[in-house]
């Protein structure tokens, strides 16, 4: 018996060791935060102060002896990195400059600028050393946080809300008093790549997942909306109370709003004394909240927006995956449109189509940013691009646009950039593009084309299946480029490493053409050519004089797979693979040249071929 026990113990020991090794190699981990904040806002001078208790769990395999906080509001000061960058970039953001193209940050006075300062900070009761470096607070810990350990930071902070320059701020151009995003000392994310304590220069964000408990005290005439479920609606009212119920009257000039938000990586709020507040319950979905200025010229649009918002929610639920929170708020504020946890801030004085468009885009970010929390500074194309892709599809359906190719503008933008000589690879950090133009097209348009073109490679059904699996597998995590590629590979059974590499890490372009079409007795010989460096499989449509059609498919050898016939009603012939290095490729059609009217490469136009002129061959009249 003894011997057998020994063998069993040994076996268990070995199994234990094996699983440990496997964990170190493959196991995903992420840090965790639990914030408790109490903040008081003075709506006269826009100054606020508060306390923050942060319980930080170090799930990384390393011990940490430093942490970093973002102090975003310090960007809105003359001489900040954001200000200097604005003064030196060739195409500054219009919202941030005067009509003479001067930095609006440079001219902010003491009482107009933003700031956020930490005045006291302890770790488990012991003082720590901390130093403000622009928009980042560097903290040398009193004692290291071991792998798997927890520590509690407690701080006091005070801030001033800047005049609205970019995203957040006071007194927006449309008169919203407080757009409070990136307003609190926010712990920087530490992940498998190390710290991401990026200075706030332009864009964008990456945060730690966790639970928020926030109490906001401000003038009782203000209505507040944002991230989180209100815990004390019967004390607050303002449209949050149970309909028809009585609200407990509070003494004094202020109200304290208590919000809780589970598993988010950001916390935004907005407030205005003139907000109207409507709600709409989505069937089998969350409660929608709409907060918008009581401005007669916008009210009708904001009422019509509400059923469209419910329709968009249902579209994304069906096509990507279920929205995991019980609430979503569309809030008038900010300087355009920006996504936040369980909410968005959008400008509201828009034409109806534009209002629905910005809502659909920002709401789509609930999936592609606030649940699939990609590092936006490093992988901007996965954030803005995927959002643009799915919101274009959504708009096509909920606004009955019926476009054949809802991504046409994304393709046009990409072609424009690719041929401009200004393109930088999508791996560029979002702050390090030479031009805002190059960032915008690369992130939004080329990022959207990444998915639309993936549909060309693996087929539309497999593309949508990929998105749903990607969401199911990576929700509440920080997915990276390899994750979407591996998901598409698993769904399609094809090899796509070349696609991720060429499209996102280089500026290689796609250019295929029809080189020659010649008669060969009663058959026709077609020669295709690859001119650009980037590989692609080829769909070839042949139209005959009697208007019958057939297609030929030349798979790319390195994909090791073939998509299903995308034109099911048209006969397709699968040709031998085209190995990339061969600049030309020949195949034969068993019909005479005289019977052919036209030949077209990629009739779907989902392949981002930068030169379409050589994609069509037509018979001479």
266 or 384: CB nearest Zn ion: 384
Tokens 């170190």 belong to 24
Task: Quote the crossing angle between the two packed helices 386-398 and 296-319, to the nearest 10°.
Answer: 110
- Which one, 384 or 489, has the nearer CB to Zn ion? 384
Contact in structure between 362 and 337 (CB atoms under 8 Å)? yes
CB 485 → Zn ion: shortest distance, Å?
A: 22
* Cα separation, 390 vs 409, whole angstroms: 14
Using CA atoms, how far apart are residues 488 and 503, in angstroms rounded to an integer? 15
Q: Taking a C-beta distance cutoff of 8 angstroms, is the pair 450, 504 a contact?
A: yes
Taking the complex as a whole, how short is the minimal distance between the CB of residue 438 and Zn ion, in angstroms?
17
* Residues 189/206, Cβ–Cβ less than 8 Å: yes
Beta carbon of residue 492, minimum distance to Zn ion (angstroms, whole number): 27
Residue 52 phi/psi, 5-degree rounding, is -140, 130
For residues 505 and 369, what is the distance between their CA atoms, to the nearest angstrom? Answer: 21
Backbone torsion region of residue 244, taken as left when φ is above 0, otherwise alpha when ψ lies between -120 and 50, otherwise beta: left
Q: How far is the CB of 365 from Zn ion (least distance, A)?
A: 6
Q: Which of 339, 345, 341, 306 is nearest to 228 (CA)?
A: 341
Least distance in angstroms from the C-beta of 499 to Zn ion: 23
Which residue lies nearer to Zn ion by CB, 255 or 382? 382
Question: How is residue 542 written in tokens?
Answer: 């042949």
User: The tokens of 310 are what?
Assistant: 């419910």
Among residues 71 and 395, whose Cβ is nearest to Zn ion? 395
Closer to Zn ion by Cβ: residue 151 or 227:
227
- For 52-91, give one letter per residue: b (16+ CB within 10 A) or e: bebbbbbebeeebeebbbbbbbbbbbeebbbbebbeebee
Report the residue number, 237 or 348, with the smaller CB distance to Zn ion: 348
Q: Between residues 272 and 384, which has the closer beta carbon with respect to Zn ion?
A: 384
Min dist CB 464 to Zn ion, Å, is 21
CB atoms within 10 A of CB 497: 13
**Checking DSSP bridges between strand 129-133 and strand 136-145, what pairing results, if any?**
antiparallel
Q: Report the residue closest to Zn ion, judged by CB.
A: 384
| Least Å from the CB of residue 394 to Zn ion | 13
Q: Cα–Cα distance between 298 and 306 in angstroms, integer?
A: 13
Contact 194, 248 (CB under 8 A): no
- Write down the least CB distance from residue 447 to Zn ion, Å: 10
Nearer to Zn ion among residue 414 and residue 617 (C-beta): 414
Q: Which residues bind Zn ion (CB under 5 A)?
A: 384, 387
Residue number, 387 or 453, with CB nearest to Zn ion: 387
Nearer to Zn ion, 41 or 313 (CB): 313
Question: Residue 565 is encoded by which pair of tokens?
Answer: 């016939």
Q: Which two tokens stand for residue 241?
A: 């109370």
What's the angle, vertex CA 77, arms to CA 342 and CA 45, rounded to 5?
Answer: 70
Considering the complex, what minimum distance in angstroms separates the CB of residue 368 from Zn ion?
A: 8
Can you read off the two tokens belonging to residue 199? 């200075």
Q: How far is the CB of 364 from Zn ion (least distance, A)?
A: 8
Report the chain's C-alpha Rg in angstroms.
28
Instruction: Provide, rounded to whole angstroms, the least separation between the CB of residue 227 and Zn ion.
Output: 17
Rounded to the nearest whole angstrom, what is the least distance from the CB of residue 375 to Zn ion in the complex?
15
> With contact defined as beta carbons under 8 Å apart, do 68 and 198 qualify?
no
Residue identified by tokens 């990026």 is 198
Closest CB to Zn ion among residues 68, 407: 407
Judged by beta carbon, residue 31 or residue 387, the one nearer Zn ion is 387
135 or 387: CB nearest Zn ion: 387
CA 90/CA 85 separation, integer angstroms: 10
Tell me, letter by letter, the H, E, C secondary structure of 261-279.
EEEECCCCEEEECCEEEEE
Shortest spacing between CB 361 and Zn ion, in angstroms:
6
Strands (E), 61-177: 64-70, 115-123, 126-127, 129-133, 136-145, 150-160, 169-170
């Amino acid at each position: 018996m003894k011997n057998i026990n020994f063998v069993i113990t040994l076996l268990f020991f070995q199994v234990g060791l094996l699983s440990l090794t496997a964990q170190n190699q493959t196991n995903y981990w992420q840090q965790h935060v639990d914030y408790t904040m109490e903040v008081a806002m003075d709506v006269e001078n826009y100054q606020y102060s508060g306390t923050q208790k942060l319980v930080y769990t170090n799930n990384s395999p390393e011990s940490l002896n430093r942490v970093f906080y973002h102090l975003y509001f310090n960007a809105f000061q003359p001489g900040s990195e954001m200000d200097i960058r604005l003064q030196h970039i060739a195409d500054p953001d219009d919202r941030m400059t005067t009509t003479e193209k001067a930095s609006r940050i440079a001219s902010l006075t003491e009482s107009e600028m933003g700031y956020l300062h930490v005045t006291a900070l302890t770790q488990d009761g012991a003082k720590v050393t901390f130093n403000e470096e622009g928009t980042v607070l560097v903290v040398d810990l009193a004692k290291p946080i071991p792998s798997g350990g927890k520590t509690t930071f407690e701080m006091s902070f005070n801030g001033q809300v800047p005049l609205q320059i970019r995203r957040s701020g006071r007194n927006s151009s449309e008169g919203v008093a407080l757009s409070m995003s990136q307003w609190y000392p926010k712990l920087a994310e530490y992940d498998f790549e190390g710290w991401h304590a990026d200075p706030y220069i332009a864009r964008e964000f990456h945060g730690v997942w966790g639970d928020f408990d926030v109490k906001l005290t401000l003038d009782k005439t203000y209505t507040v909306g944002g991230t989180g479920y209100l815990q004390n609606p019967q004390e607050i009212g303002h449209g949050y109370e149970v309909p028809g119920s009585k609200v407990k009257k509070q003494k004094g000039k202020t109200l304290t709003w208590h919000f809780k938000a589970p598993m988010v990586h950001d916390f935004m709020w907005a407030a205005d004394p003139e907000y109207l507040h409507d709600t709409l319950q989505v069937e089998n979905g969350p409660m929608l909240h709409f907060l918008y200025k009581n401005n007669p010229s916008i009210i009708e649009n904001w009422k019509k927006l509400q059923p469209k918002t419910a329709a968009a929610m249902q579209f994304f639920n069906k096509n990507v995956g279920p929205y995991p929170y019980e609430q979503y708020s569309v809030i008038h504020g900010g300087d355009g449109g920006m996504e936040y946890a369980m909410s968005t801030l959008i400008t509201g004085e828009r034409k109806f189509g534009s209002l629905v468009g910005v809502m659909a885009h920002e709401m789509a970010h609930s999936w592609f940013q606030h649940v699939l929390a990609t590092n936006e500074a490093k992988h901007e194309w996965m954030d803005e691009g995927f959002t643009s892709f799915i919101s274009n599809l959504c708009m096509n359906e909920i606004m009955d646009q019926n476009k054949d190719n809802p991504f046409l503008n994304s393709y046009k933008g990409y072609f424009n950039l690719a041929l401009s000589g200004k393109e930088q690879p999508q791996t560029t950090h979002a702050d390090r593009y030479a031009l805002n133009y190059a960032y915008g097209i690369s992130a939004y348009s080329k990022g959207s084309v990444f998915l639309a073109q993936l549909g060309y490679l693996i087929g539309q059904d497999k593309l949508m299946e990929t998105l749903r699996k990607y969401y199911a597998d990576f929700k509440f995590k920080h997915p990276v480029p390899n994750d979407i590629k591996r998901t598409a590979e698993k769904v399609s059974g094809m090899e796509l490493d070349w696609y991720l590499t060429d499209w996102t890490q280089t500026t290689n372009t796609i250019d295929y053409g029809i080189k020659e079409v010649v008669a060969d007795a009663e058959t026709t010989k077609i020669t295709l050519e690859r001119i650009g460096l980037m590989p692609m499989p080829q769909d070839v449509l042949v139209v005959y004089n009697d208007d019958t059609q057939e297609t030929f498919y030349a798979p790319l050898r390195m994909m090791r797979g073939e998509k299903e016939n995308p034109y099911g009603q048209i006969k397709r012939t699968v040709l031998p693979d085209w190995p990339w290095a061969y600049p030309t490729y020949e195949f034969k059609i068993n019909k005479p040249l005289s019977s052919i009217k036209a030949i077209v490469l990629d009739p779907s136009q989902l392949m981002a071929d930068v030169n379409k002129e050589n994609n069509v061959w037509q018979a001479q009249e």
